[in-house]
Amino acid sequence: KHTRNVAIVAISFHGNFNYFWLRALERRFPGKSAGMVFRKLLLDQSFASPLATSVFYTGVSYLEGKEDVFEDWREKFFNTWRTGLMYWPFMQFLNFVLMP
């Protein structure tokens, strides 16, 4: 049941959001220069990452029928986001530099 709910949130939100978000970033900050990559990384980690993490926790909680859909978010968001900052900026750097 939990796996199904995670899949629903991932398919209905994350795939679409990431597709449009990354396209918008590239349109606004085109190219692979250091300045453009830095801007993309800064916006991605300060806006998109917290939003996507928040939607994940609240969406799964909603689908699981929890009375307080923000409970998991309050308990897990900051640690998840902070931990992600040790990994995702490096992966997004490669994405922004290597992908067309």
For the chain, the structural domain boundaries read 2-98
Question: pLDDT tens across 33-82, in order?
Answer: 999 999 999 999 999 999 999 999 999 999 999 999 999 999 999 999 99
Whole-prediction pTM value?
Answer: 0.88
Helical segments of 1-100, H only = 2-9, 15-28, 34-43, 49-63, 71-84, 88-98
Residue pair 61/70 in contact (Cβ under 8 Å)? The answer is: yes
